[in-house]
C-alpha cells in the first residue's frame, strides 16, 4: 500500500468508526482531549494524523490498535503521514516558495546532500534512509515535467559556505537548476545580518484555484497551514525573507564565487 493511499484509508476509517460509535466531532474531541476543529482537520486531511492521535482514537473507539497499525503501514514507504497534505499540495501547485535558514531546500538537494541530511537522525536504519532519499528524489520530478510549477527558493549564504565535501557537487547542482526558466534562486547575503527567516523554514504552495497552503516543519514533524490568518503571517514573512535576498543575477554570481573555492569538479 502506498503511503498516500494508506493515509486516505486511515482518515476514512477514523470517520467511519467515529460515526459507528455514535459520536460527532465535538463529542469525539472531548473524549480524546482534542478540539473539534482538530478532529475536523484530521478527518479532512488539513492536519496530519500523528501517532498520539491514532493511539488515542484506538483507545476511545476500542479498535484494538487499528489506527496505529494503519498509520505505521502508511509510513513504511518513507513518506511520513504528517507530510502527506504538503506532498499533495506540492504535486498540484502552480507556484512553490521555499526557504530554509540552514539547509538547501529539499527540491534542490542532490542525492548525496539529501542522504547526509537524513542521516542527522543516527537511529534510523540504513534501509529507511535510502528509502527516504528515493522519496525525496522522486519529489523533485515535478520540476522536470511538461508543465512544472514555478519554484522560488531563497537560501542563506551560510548554507552555501559549509565546508562538507558534498558541497561542491551541491553548488554545481544549484547552478544547473537555476538555468531552468521556472526555477528562481536567491541568496540572502551574510551582510543582511539578522532577519526574520532565521526563525525557521517556510514552505508555501499556490494551488490551481489560487489559494495557498503553507507547511511548517520542526524536529518532530510538521503541519499544513491553511487558515487565512496563519497564511497571511507566512506570506508576510516570506516577503520579508525575499526582501533581504540578492537579485537572481547577483545570487548566481555568489554561488559561482563560493563554488570556485572548492576547486575543479
Sign for the pseudo-dihedral over CA of 232, 98, 95, 241 = positive
Geometric angle at alpha carbon 56, from 226 and 216, rounded to 5°: 25
Strands 150-156 and 221-225: unpaired
The CA distance from 71 to 82, in Å, is 10
Write out the chain's pLDDT in tens, 265 residues.
Answer: 445 666 778 888 899 999 999 999 999 999 999 999 989 988 887 777 777 888 999 999 999 988 888 877 766 555 666 677 888 899 999 999 999 999 999 999 999 999 999 998 888 778 778 878 888 888 999 999 999 999 999 999 999 999 888 999 999 999 999 999 999 999 999 999 888 888 889 999 999 999 999 988 766 667 778 889 999 999 999 999 999 999 999 999 999 999 998 765 4
- pLDDT per residue over 152-173, tens digit each? 999 999 999 998 889 999 999 9
10 Å CB burial of residue 33 (0-12, 13-18, 19+) is exposed
Residue 25 to residue 202: CA distance in whole angstroms: 31
Nearest to 100 by CA among 144, 183, 162, 157: 157
Please report, in angstroms and rounded to a whole number, the separation of the first and last CA atoms in the chain: 41
Pick the CATH number of 81-108+142-260 from 3.40.50.970, 1.20.1440.230, 3.30.870.10, 3.40.47.10: 3.30.870.10
CA–CA gap between residue 114 and residue 220 (Å, rounded) = 18
- In the Cβ-directed half-sphere of 150, how many Cα atoms lie within 13 Å? 7
Return the CATH number of 3-77, one of 3.10.105.10, 1.10.260.40, 1.10.10.10, 3.40.50.300. 1.10.260.40
Q: What is the pTM of this model?
A: 0.70
Q: Hey, do 3-77 and 81-108+142-260 end up sharing a CATH topology, with the first three levels equal?
A: no
C-alpha cell at 146: 511538461
Residues 6+ apart with CB under 8 A from 69: none
- Where do we find the cell 502506498? 2
Amino acid at each position: 500500500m502506498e503511503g498516500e493511499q494508506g493515509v486516505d484509508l486511515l482518515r476514512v476509517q477514523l470517520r467511519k468508526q467515529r460515526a459507528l460509535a455514535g459520536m460527532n466531532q465535538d463529542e469525539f474531541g472531548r473524549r480524546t482531549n482534542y478540539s473539534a476543529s482538530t478532529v475536523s482537520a484530521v478527518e479532512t486531511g488539513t492536519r496530519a494524523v500523528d501517532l498520539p492521535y491514532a493511539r488515542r482514537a484506538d483507545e476511545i473507539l476500542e479498535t484494538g490498535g487499528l489506527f496505529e497499525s494503519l498509520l505505521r503501514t502508511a509510513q513504511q514507504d518513507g513518506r511520513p503521514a504528517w507530510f502527506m497534505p504538503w506532498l499533495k499540495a506540492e504535486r498540484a501547485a502552480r507556484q512553490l516558495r521555499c526557504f530554509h535558514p540552514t539547509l538547501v531546500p529539499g527540491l534542490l538537494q542532490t542525492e548525496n546532500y539529501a542522504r547526509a541530511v537524513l542521516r542527522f537522525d543516527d537511529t534510523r536504519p540504513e534501509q529507511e534512509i535510502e528509502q527516504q532519499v528515493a522519496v525525496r528524489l522522486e519529489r523533485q520530478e515535478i520540476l522536470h515535467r511538461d508543465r512544472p510549477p514555478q519554484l522560488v527558493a531563497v537560501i542563506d549564504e551560510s548554507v552555501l559556505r559549509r565546508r562538507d565535501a558534498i558541497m561542491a557537487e551541491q553548488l554545481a547542482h544549484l547552478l544547473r537548476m537555476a538555468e531552468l526558466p521556472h526555477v528562481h534562486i536567491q541568496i540572502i547575503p551574510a551582510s543582511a545580518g539578522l532577519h526574520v527567516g532565521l526563525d525557521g523554514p517556510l514552505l508555501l504552495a499556490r494551488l490551481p484555484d489560487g489559494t495557498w497552503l503553507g507547511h511548517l516543519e520542526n524536529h518532530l514533524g510538521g503541519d499544513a497551514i491553511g487558515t487565512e490568518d496563519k497564511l497571511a503571517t507566512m506570506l508576510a514573512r516570506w516577503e520579508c525573507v525575499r526582501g533581504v535576498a540578492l537579485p537572481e543575477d547577483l545570487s548566481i554570481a555568489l554561488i559561482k564565487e563560493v563554488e570556485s573555492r572548492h576547486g575543479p569538479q
